[in-house]
Structure 1
Amino acid sequence: MARPDEHIHIEWRGGTCRVKWWTGEYLPNGRKRYESKGGFLDEETAMDYGRDQLYEIRHGIHVSNRKGATLMTEWLDDWLAGMDHGHLTERGYRSAVENHIRPYFARKSVADIDVLAYRAFRKHVNGVLGTGSASNVMMVLGMVLDDAVPRLIKTSPVERTKRRGKFTKKKKKERKKDMAPAVVDRLARNAEIFFGFPGYVFMWTMAMTGMRPAELYGLTREYCYPNWPGTDPRPDPDEEERYAEDLERYGLGDDRMPAIRVERQVQYSGGELQFFPPKYESHRTLVVPTFLAEMLDKLLASHTSRWVFPAIQGGSLGAVNFDYRYWRPIADGVAERSGPRVRRPRPAIPAVPTYRGKRLYLLRHGHKAWLDEDGHSKFAVESRMGHEVPGVEGIYSSVTVPMERAIMKSLQARWEKLQQDLRETDS
């Protein structure tokens, strides 16, 4: 058995020496592949360095100079090709790589990215992006570099905790106001002015179910009350037991609970609007209060579109820039549209101060706050929001019929209180 030192060679060049060590690999011509490092002033130090490399090779933790010299852009290609995430997550990662990481590190090798290069890039993205976007880009770079260990680099330069540099206060939490039913009603009336009865029901559905916008954009007739669960396509043969339970719980008898089934969302992919599973695969059933069930029944009877909430032109709301074209006028208000050349005249839409400049998504937040205020089970609330409940509670708990009826009752009570307040205001 050969001694380790037999795989190390020392060469003097000028006033310094170079150490060469066998990598354990062979060249195509059958000769041993060596790597080297120069600049040592004495043979003992050079020999120790060579022994360290042989130790790493024997224990499978060595990174060859050749692999470390892999260009960052080549590693990014490999990393992207190996992704296995949901559509939106993958799209976000690709955007961070192609728009920020690849251009910045285009001429660098993976081994060139040390802690100083990492900090320089962090300073760069913080200077050109907002706090949230910069944080997302740094998160993606962290994953890219972490996955390069130990294949291309020995350790990742990613700093998990900030120890040096200027103090930066954490991003302020978004300021939110309580979601009052009267404010939701104003938003719903504005939406009705903007795109008709579907707009009115859309706003109340989001406030009363907490559905994500893309889930609402992609909601089709077969998954909506009063059609569901009788019209469920039942695409998964492994779910036959659930389909039968859904029919019994939500579809049979006078005491059935009206509900919406969240099975998918719509997103653009490859230039086309396509169906995808809901975020985090959060398939779920959402019971709705009586007043909303009546609205949905009336809405579906009023049009023949496959989409429960058709856009002005009749297609899916997912095919338009809803936030800009619909939500901003609804929340911020717009002037009257009239005149002989106006194709779709429209009265003025008053601003809703609580939501001026705010996100549509806050209606989802407000729904959870309503459920929390009414004291519903944490498991029932988180399940309704499409969140995983960790730990023992998530394993042993389930959403029962009494829990769902309690949610229906409390949401209906908010609606009835609003109607009473509106009557008193008008009298």
Structure 2
Amino acid sequence: MPYVEIRGNSIRVKWWSGEYQLDADGKATRRKKYESASGPDPGVPFGDETEAYNYGLDREHEVRHGRNIPRANAKTLMRDYCWMWWEAQDLRPMSMGRYKSRLRARIIPYWGERPVGDITAWEYDAWKKGLKKASAAGEISHHYVDQLLSLFNLLMTDAVVKYKLRAESPIIKHGRRGRYAKKKREVKRPMEMAVLHHLARNAYTIWGYTGWTCVWTAAFTGMRPPGELWGLRREFASPTWPASDPDPERRAEAAERYGPGKMPALRVQWQQQYVDGVRTVVDPKYDSHRTLVVPPFLHEMLTVLLASHDSEWVFPGIQGGEMPRNWYDSYWMPMRDGAPERGGRKDLVRPEISPVPEMAGKRFYLVRHGHREWLDEAGHPRTAIETRMGHEVAGVEGLYSNLTPAMEGEIVNSLQERWQRFWGMGVWWAPPFPSSLPDGASRQ
């Protein structure tokens, strides 16, 4: 039972916290640990002994029913909790980096000095409103706001359920309520071959036949750019795979279905990410290792590309090494937005690059979206589409469905037909081949 102490004009109540004190060896003794309070809220004293006693009864009720939050836990500062929470996560390097960036940029500067257990729904609503105002003013994107709110929700949920730092979350979700605000979506348009040809031609101007092939590979495989493209090693490209696969079991199984005389295919085995500033090869997103059949024209294009360099990567950088960390600025933006003529040494002269207006302000990732559109237009089975995109089909459909050789053959045919239909429309520019074709290869 709680007991009340009166000291001068103040009233304090003590109750058992449900824990026992520890001795020097860390073992629990028979001495109980007590908590106390001088009021129901910080700075608010109890009005009388009855109020204090009832408050103590409520706390002991929480202890008996496992809902007690030790006051020391609730007083953990957000700046400490955020980093302890981050260290406890086991996510992919890119996700860890994004969480760290959001904690540093917005969450800790705002909430850092607040105890985890003291954050109220009022305070959360005010912070959320401020973020939306910043988004409306163009200071941050609405997508970034959603990411911040989602991360804060994870922090508060784990503080309640996992770490017992507070009794309930300050985030209360309702159904649709208040003024309706339509969510902004990225404006997309159908991915047209002429637009991709423009991008590929610009890419050739920037970094040669590698750039030309890279754009068409992204468009006709749906690989996640840029990580899966940069992580494509020579031994997993269609001219060499599956015979060059280092895993003997996977090599033998794949050889029954892919390779010379069968369907050409490449293997998405890795992606590249920066981990603590170091370029690192990691598993693809969602562990979506997969085999992608490629149309004949792309197989020939990759064959020519691999014959033109000796890099371990299918798509090396301009100087033949790894792709630079500032790829977005030095490669994608000139490809998309154009660039003036550049002088200098003979080997550095670059002609003017014309902008691609249809892609203004857009991400390279939308090329992957366009590949999904093509598969939908061609009417391929959902199983074939989702497997190719690196997704899992949920539920019973995913359990019973399977990607068959016939499905893959239809994908190859529809993609090759799209390519041939485009080139049959008129005279389109194509780059010269960087080297003589290997035996058995033909010009697409």
| 2-structure distance, mates of 1:230, 1:81 | 41
Does residue 23 in structure 1 map to residue 17 in structure 2?
yes
Contact 2:242 2:255 in 1 (8 A): yes
Matched position secondary structure for 1:18: strand
The equivalent of 1:399 in structure 2 is 403
The equivalent of 1:334 in structure 2 is 339
The equivalent of 1:34 in structure 2 is 34
Contact 1:16 1:42 in 2 (8 A): no
Alignment counterpart, residue 55 of structure 1, candidates 40, 58, 61? 61
Does residue 178 in structure 1 map to residue 184 in structure 2?
no
Alignment counterpart, residue 160 of structure 1, candidates 173, 178, 183? 173
The equivalent of 1:77 in structure 2 is 83
Give the gaps of 5 or more residues in structure 2.
24-28, 39-44, 430-444
| 1-structure distance, mates of 2:406, 2:345 | 56
| 2-structure distance, mates of 1:108, 1:48 | 28
Does residue 313 in structure 1 map to residue 324 in structure 2?
no
One-letter code aligned to 2:148? V
Cα RMSD over matched residues? 2.2
| 2-structure distance, mates of 1:411, 1:185 | 15
Q: In the superposition, relative to structure 1, how do residues 424 and 48 fare at CA in structure 2: closer, same or farther (>3 Å)?
A: closer
One-letter code aligned to 2:376? D
Contact 2:94 2:274 in 1 (8 A): no
Contact 1:10 1:18 in 2 (8 A): yes
More helix by percentage? 1
| 2-structure distance, mates of 1:279, 1:299 | 26
The equivalent of 2:5 in structure 1 is 11
Deviations 1:148-179 (A, max 9, x none): 115110001123237777x3623321111111
Contact 1:330 1:351 in 2 (8 A): yes
Matched position secondary structure for 1:24: strand
Deviations 1:370-424 (A, max 9, x none): 0000000111101111112111111111110000000000000011111110249
The equivalent of 2:110 in structure 1 is 104
Matched position secondary structure for 1:196: helix
The equivalent of 2:206 in structure 1 is 194
Contact 2:386 2:393 in 1 (8 A): yes
Contact 1:218 1:316 in 2 (8 A): no
Contact 1:16 1:41 in 2 (8 A): no
Does residue 378 in structure 1 map to residue 378 in structure 2?
no
The percentage of counterpart residues that share the same residue type is 45
Does residue 117 in structure 1 map to residue 123 in structure 2?
yes
| 1-structure distance, mates of 2:145, 2:322 | 32
One-letter code aligned to 1:109? P
Contact 2:93 2:274 in 1 (8 A): no
One-letter code aligned to 1:262? V
Instruction: Give 1:269-308 correspondences, 5 Å limit.
Output: 269-308=275-314
| 2-structure distance, mates of 1:154, 1:424 | 66
Q: In the superposition, relative to structure 1, how do residues 232 and 110 fare at CA in structure 2: closer, same or farther (>3 Å)?
A: same
The equivalent of 1:248 in structure 2 is 256
Matched position secondary structure for 1:120: helix
One-letter code aligned to 1:384? R
The alpha-carbon deviation at position 207 of structure 1 amounts to 0.6
Alignment counterpart, residue 146 of structure 1, candidates 157, 160, 173? 157
The alpha-carbon deviation at position 186 of structure 1 amounts to 1.8
Q: In the superposition, relative to structure 1, how do residues 341 and 251 fare at CA in structure 2: closer, same or farther (>3 Å)?
A: closer
Moved more, 64-73 or 191-200: 64-73
| 1-structure distance, mates of 2:304, 2:409 | 22
| 2-structure distance, mates of 1:392, 1:25 | 47
Q: In the superposition, relative to structure 1, how do residues 268 and 221 fare at CA in structure 2: closer, same or farther (>3 Å)?
A: same
Does residue 408 in structure 1 map to residue 412 in structure 2?
yes
Contact 2:78 2:108 in 1 (8 A): yes
TM-score computed with the length of structure 2 as normaliser: 0.87
The alpha-carbon deviation at position 14 of structure 1 amounts to 5.1
TM-score computed with the length of structure 1 as normaliser: 0.90
